[in-house]
Amino acid sequence: MFANLEMPEFTLFHLLQCCLFFGIGFLASLWFQLPRGIKRKLVEEDATTHDAPPPAPGEPPELEETINCVVDRVQGLADGMLTDVHQHSESVAQINSDLVTISSMADVEGVARVISRLMEANRHLDSRLNVAEAKLLEQSQQLRSHRVEARTDALTGLPNRRVFDEELQRLFDERRIFKKPASLIMIDIDHFKDFNDRYGHQAGDTCLKAVGGVIREAVQPMGGIVVRYGGEEFAILFPNTEIFEAKIAAQRVNYKIDRMSVDCGKASHSVTASLGVAELFQDIKPEDWLGRADRALYDAKRRGRNRACWNDSHGCHEIAKDLYVTLCDPAEEDAATSLVRREEFLRDVDRRLAMFHRKKQPIGMIMASIDPIDPAVQDEVDPREIEDAVQAALQDVLRDMDHVCLLAENQFGALLPTASVVEAALVADRAREGVSQLRFETSQGVAHATLTCGVTEAKEGDDAFRLVARAESCLRHVGKAGGNAVYMVREECEWETPQRLGGDAVIAP
């Protein structure tokens, strides 16, 4: 019929479009035949998939009202879009009918007019859909903002109790299903009511914000989730963390809070905190885990406050502060440089640990501390000269692939890839012997330097922080036993009674 017609080429394409939109109109008509209650439910489910859940119980009334208003606006937009689609489907149905009529008359101009109407209807719907999409995006962002607000403590900016309850349950479920470890620290500011009464509520708010910031900064490298639990209490949840690392974190937080000062305008005031630590064991429910951390917290208060205790499900025990001196800040005058060196060393440890976990090759670690020299001549010897000489002695016994670094004043760390703990201990003992041969001339004769070393090796589940902390804890703990020796630990439970090498026969734990 159309063989002799010079129909523009674009009309064939739009005929296909016509069929497509006829199908859209048909589907839209089916939609409008659904009961309104079912349509509303479907729209609400769609909103849920776009991070717009209904307000949870316990939210402030004004926030819940705001969220309800946004949901109503979203529902209005959805209804408007349905109306537009319905109108468009009716237009397409009419255009399709006209097109059938005109095609039987071989009216080229009529077909062109129908195609123009179809294109105009498409443009109109497209414009309406773009406007609706922009409004939906705006409402979605508002809902997301209100959702964040509902999960954030307004004063400190930390996650609130609602987040804590959710994460507590999540970690509990992961332990039950996947056997993943987790630890919890509860923190309570000591004598906060007295602080509030003495300096005023504004100073109290400043104190809470400052303490929250210090806690967050202290545990951020360890992946801890810090929350404002309520009042003057904070909590830290540690995924994939056993008690050893949690105790280190608790002492770090305790130390940081003890050293901080709260700036209250004309004056600054110090505060302390008590901490309770508990690893998730065979607790029947999350509340049991929380209860053990609480009992450890109150035991810390009973023992005099400004300390941390941990609960092993049998009882509470104090975490001795001198076991974790390595977590303290370096000397003030060299703090920045020491921190940079330590961060570089930890990054290298992380890289090597990745290979260890992948290829199962051993990694040894040495922490070495220069023993104090004779007080009578120490003022005549440059500490830098001793450090340089000791570092040279360490490098003489290490391989090119090993990494030695001055981590803090008089303390070195050495990473030995592919070396077991025994092999690393033998290297440390050779370094100890080399250092013992060093001589430093003074007006009163020759001064000698000696070295004490703590040695360990990487274990499954270690990260850089944990491996370094185990070696440093061993070194610091045995420092009181005398210097010029090498101490070795294989497991975390051995660091209180390590093997001693070098100078004396090996003493088994």
Is 323's pLDDT higher than 50? Answer: no
Of 79 and 312, more confident: 312
Which structure tokens are listed for 415? Answer: 């990473």
The residue out of 294, 327, 360 marking a domain boundary is 327
Q: Flag the least confident range among 261-270, 342-351, 388-397.
A: 342-351
Of 279, 387, 299, 383, which Cα lies nearest the Cα of 341? 387
For residue 145, the model assigns a pLDDT of: 57
In which region does residue 306 sit, left (phi positive, over 0), alpha (psi from -120 to 50) or beta (all else)?
left
Of residues 358 and 509, more confidently modeled: 358
Residue found under tokens 């209807």: 121
**SS3 assignment for 40-88:** HHHHHHHHHCCCCCCCCCCCCHHHHHHHHHHHHHHHHHHHHHHHHHHHH
Express each pLDDT in 203-222 by its tens digit: 999 999 999 999 998 888 77
Return all residues near 509 (Cβ < 8 A) that are at least 6 apart.
494, 497, 498, 499
Question: For residue 12, with 0-12 CB atoms within 10 Å meaning exposed, 13-18 middle and 19 or more buried, which class applies?
Answer: exposed
Q: Which of 290, 307, 327 is the last residue of a domain?
A: 327
Q: pLDDT tens, 140-181? A: 666 555 555 678 898 999 999 999 999 999 999 999 998 889
Claim to verify: residue 342 and residue 249 sit in the same structural domain = no
- Residue whose tokens read 């987040």: 163
Per-residue pLDDT band at 73 (split at 50, 70, 90)? low
* Domain assignment of residue 19, yes or no: yes
Considering its fold, how many domains does the chain have in total?
A: 3
**Listed ranges 331-340, 417-426, 484-493; the one with the highest mean pLDDT:** 417-426
356 — pLDDT class (breaks 50, 70, 90): confident
Average pLDDT over residues 294-307: 96
Asked whether residue 288 carries a pLDDT value surpassing 90, the answer given is yes
Asked if the structure places residue 507 within a domain, the reply is no
Q: Is residue 482 part of a domain?
A: yes
Range in 307-311, 315-319, 396-400 the model is least confident about:
396-400
- The verdict on 490 and 418 lying in the same domain is yes
Task: Classify residue 177: in a domain, yes or no.
Answer: yes
Judgement on whether residues 354 and 485 belong to the same structural domain of the protein: yes
Average predicted confidence (pLDDT) for the chain: 76
Q: Is the dihedral of CA 31, 36, 37, 40 positive or negative?
A: positive
What is the pLDDT, as a whole number, of residue 111? 61
Is residue 1 a part of any domain in this protein?
Answer: no
Full domain range(s) for residue 24: 10-150
Q: What DSSP line would sit under 80-117, residue for residue? A: HHHHHHHHHHHHHHHHHHHHHHHHTTT-HHHHHHHHHH
Show which of 311, 327, 343 is a domain's final residue.
Answer: 327
Return the biggest CA–CA distance within the chain: 122
Give the range among 67-71, 183-187, 256-260, 339-343 with minimum mean pLDDT: 67-71
